[in-house]
């Protein structure tokens, strides 16, 4: 499974089919052909051979091809070959919108040798970095602008970016942008560009969802479809390995030690999970770096650079790295988790190896929790994935999961609601003590006739209306109900308080016990309070005089 088991082929040495044209037969100028030689390309890939003449003719294009087949050069080479040059402070004339920062940087890397020959200027605006350098680049003007949707919308709203001169609009990885919820941003961006433009849509798949949402963005497009949905590269061998949940990280370490850690990418479903795996790998003295959405742009760029230069052996990434990232010489891919949100991500994950004609392989760790997600992947592939052939000697856990060898990829699978219910059942079972799980269920013991105690017969209830709650309580606790007991206690308490309280105007008995209100002696005028003095004649009495 290591390099000695999978000899690699040179990326540019594979000869094309006899009917495949050469680059100089596609209509590119001598300047563009010089850029092709600078990039080391010898023969065009199928998507390049079909898309480049259509782009040079000025038509709108919708193209779908497998990952790692050179889609970026397929739209950059012909577009920059026929693009004008913007004046100082103007532009952009060509706009490429892509979903992730890594893809934007990769497009810039492919564009650099082409722009060096065609003398175009390029700028990149992405999130995760400061605004000021990007504002400065836009104010100076550029011919080519590569951007992610979120940052581009921000700069448009702030008045720093104007798309009124765009002649070529490229939507790269359009299906991924739709999955990430960028459709409203895509429509806002397209609305800022002129109606008379050339629109190029490149994607890994062109399914009905992509076509329905992007139909209004293109005009009479030519379609180039090299690979349909669910097609994987023929140069990648795929395997599954059933493990128990608690032994997953242990199996991962065993695989890395057996097959070799250098040039390996591990994919997982969560950001915190990726950080956790990195901590485990570092404890085993395996150099690694995480890449996920919580990492800043500089951190992600440094991780990719360190992996490309061999400073770290392993990349641990979420699906943010699955699309379009061109990392050379990846030995193999380990899917620590089966993709949950979209089975297509499996195809993009394993596409990080076996690129440009090289051979590679991928193994997916499967437990009982993500078995149905594996079935989803196999359904779009149209076939089952074989088991890992070198599992002998690996400690897969106490109860390793074994996928059904006779499973049918076209079989109907449970719905999301049913899967959620099944997951709750597994969680409840896992929370039970092991002794209760191992203990077999027993049927209730039947009592012998001699052990049955006869219950006394209850008196027949008289027919009539059902008694209310107070009446039922009186029957149960006696004639004294709650309200009567409350009144009785309140009366006793009040009587005791009145007897212990002194009288207000002399005397020791309760209020009114010695003298009634009418017999009490009123205070004389001299004993009255000083503030209640008699009013003199002629004083204001509070009434308005006549």
What CATH number does residue 75 fall under?
3.40.50.300
pTM above 0.95, yes or no: no
Residues 199 and 319 in one domain: no
Rounded to whole angstroms, the Cα distance separating 91 from 139 reads: 9
The CA-CA-CA angle for residues 507, 511, 513, to 5°, reads 70
Place of tokens 């076509």: 211
DSSP code string of 47-77: HHHHHHHHHHTT--EEEE--TTS-HHHHHHH
pLDDT at 3: 44
Residues 311 and 362 in one domain: yes
Residues 209 and 291 in one domain: no
Q: Is residue 520 part of a domain?
A: no
The string of pLDDT tens digits covering residues 454-469 is 445 545 555 556 667 7
Listed in sequence order, the residues at least 6 apart from 287 whose beta carbon sits closer than 8 Å to its beta carbon are: 261, 311, 312, 313, 314
Estimate to the nearest angstrom the gap between the alpha carbon of 154 and the chain centroid. Answer: 22
Q: Is residue 459 part of a domain?
A: no
Residues 214 and 275 in one domain: no
Domain boundary among 428, 451, 484: 428
pLDDT at 295: 85
pLDDT at 241: 94
144 beta partners: 94, 122
Residues 197 and 320 in one domain: no
Which domain range does residue 396 map to? 236-428
How many CA atoms, within 13 angstroms, populate the side-chain half-sphere of residue 327?
Answer: 31
- Show the tokens assigned to 338: 């089966």
- Show the tokens assigned to 189: 């961006």
pLDDT at 515: 46
Residues 260 and 134 in one domain: no
pLDDT tens digit at each of 546 positions of the chain:
444 444 333 333 344 454 568 899 999 999 999 999 999 888 898 899 999 999 999 999 998 887 667 889 999 999 999 999 998 888 899 999 998 888 898 899 999 999 999 999 999 999 888 899 999 999 999 999 999 999 999 999 999 999 999 999 999 988 778 777 788 888 899 999 999 999 999 887 776 667 777 777 888 899 988 766 556 667 789 999 999 999 999 999 999 999 998 889 999 998 999 999 999 999 999 999 999 888 887 888 889 889 988 899 999 998 877 765 667 778 899 999 999 878 888 888 888 887 666 788 999 999 988 888 999 999 888 889 999 999 999 999 888 999 988 898 888 887 777 777 776 666 666 666 555 555 555 555 555 555 444 445 545 555 556 667 777 766 766 655 555 666 666 665 555 555 555 555 544 444 444 444 445 555 555 555 555 555 555 555 555 544
Q: Is residue 451 part of a domain?
A: no
Residues 216 and 246 in one domain: no
pLDDT at 284: 93
Residues 414 and 389 in one domain: yes
Residues 188 and 298 in one domain: no
Residues 325 and 256 in one domain: yes
Domain boundary among 204, 225, 246: 225
Q: Is residue 17 part of a domain?
A: no
Q: Is residue 345 part of a domain?
A: yes
Q: Is residue 2 part of a domain?
A: no
DSSP-derived letter for residue 269 is S
DSSP-derived letter for residue 427 is H
Residues 207 and 243 in one domain: no
Domain boundary among 382, 409, 428: 428
Residues 217 and 129 in one domain: yes
User: Domain total for the chain?
Assistant: 2
Rounded to whole angstroms, the Cα distance separating 67 from 248 reads: 28
């Amino acid at each position: 499974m290591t390099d000695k088991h999978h000899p690699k082929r040179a990326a540019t040495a594979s000869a094309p089919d006899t009917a495949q044209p050469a680059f100089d037969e596609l209509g590119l100028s001598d300047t563009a052909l010089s850029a092709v030689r600078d990039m080391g390309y010898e023969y065009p890939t199928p998507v390049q051979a079909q898309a480049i003449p259509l782009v040079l003719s000025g038509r709108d294009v919708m193209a779908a091809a497998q990952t790692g087949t050179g889609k970026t050069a397929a739209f950059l080479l012909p577009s920059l070959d026929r693009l004008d040059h913007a004046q100082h402070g103007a532009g952009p004339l060509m706009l490429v919108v892509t979903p992730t920062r890594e893809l934007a940087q990769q497009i810039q890397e492919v564009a650099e040798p082409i722009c060096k020959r065609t003398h175009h200027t390029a700028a990149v605006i992405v999130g995760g970095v400061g605004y000021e350098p990007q504002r400065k680049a836009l104010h100076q003007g550029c011919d080519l602008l590569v951007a992610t949707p979120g940052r581009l919308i921000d700069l448009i709203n702030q008045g720093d970016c104007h798309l009124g001169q765009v002649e070529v609009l490229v939507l790269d990885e359009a299906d991924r942008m739709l999955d990430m919820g960028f459709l409203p941003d895509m429509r806002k961006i397209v609305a800022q560009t002129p109606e008379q433009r050339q629109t190029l849509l490149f994607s890994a798949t062109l399914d009905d969802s992509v076509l329905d949402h992007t139909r209004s963005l293109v005009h009479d497009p030519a379609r180039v479809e090299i690979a349909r949905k669910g097609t994987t590269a023929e140069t990648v061998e795929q395997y599954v390995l059933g493990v128990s949940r608690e032994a997953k990280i242990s199996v991962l370490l065993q695989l890395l030690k057996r097959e070799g850690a250098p040039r390996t990418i591990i994919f997982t479903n969560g950001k915190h999970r990726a950080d956790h795996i990195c901590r485990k790998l570092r404890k085993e003295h395996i150099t690694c770096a995480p890449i996920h959405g919580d990492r800043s742009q500089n951190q992600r760029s440094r991780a990719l650079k360190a992996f490309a230069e061999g400073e770290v052996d392993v990349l641990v990434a979420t699906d943010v790295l699955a699309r379009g990232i061109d990392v050379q010489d990846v030995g193999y891919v380990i899917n620590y988790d089966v993709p949950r949100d979209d089975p297509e991500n499996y195809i993009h994950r394993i596409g990080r190896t076996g690129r440009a004609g090289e051979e590679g392989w991928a193994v997916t760790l499967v437990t009982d929790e993500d078995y149905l997600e594996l079935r989803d992947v196999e359904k779009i592939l149209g076939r089952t994935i074989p088991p890992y052939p070198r599992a002998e000697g690996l400690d897969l856990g106490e109860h390793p999961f074994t996928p059904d060898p006779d499973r049918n990829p076209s079989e109907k699978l449970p719905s999301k609601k049913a899967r959620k219910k099944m997951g709750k059942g597994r969680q409840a079972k896992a929370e039970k003590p092991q002794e209760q799980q191992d203990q077999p269920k027993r049927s209730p013991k039947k009592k012998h006739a001699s052990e049955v105690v006869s219950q006394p017969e209850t008196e027949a209830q008289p027919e009539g209306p059902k008694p209310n709650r107070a009446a039922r309580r009186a029957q149960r606790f006696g004639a004294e109900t709650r309200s009567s007991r409350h009144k009785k206690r309140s009366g006793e308490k009040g009587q005791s308080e009145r007897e212990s309280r002194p009288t207000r105007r002399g005397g020791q008995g309760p209020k009114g016990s010695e003298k009634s209100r009418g017999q009490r002696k009123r205070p004389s005028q001299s004993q009255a309070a000083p503030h209640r003095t008699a009013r003199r004649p002629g004083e204001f009495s509070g009434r308005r005089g006549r």
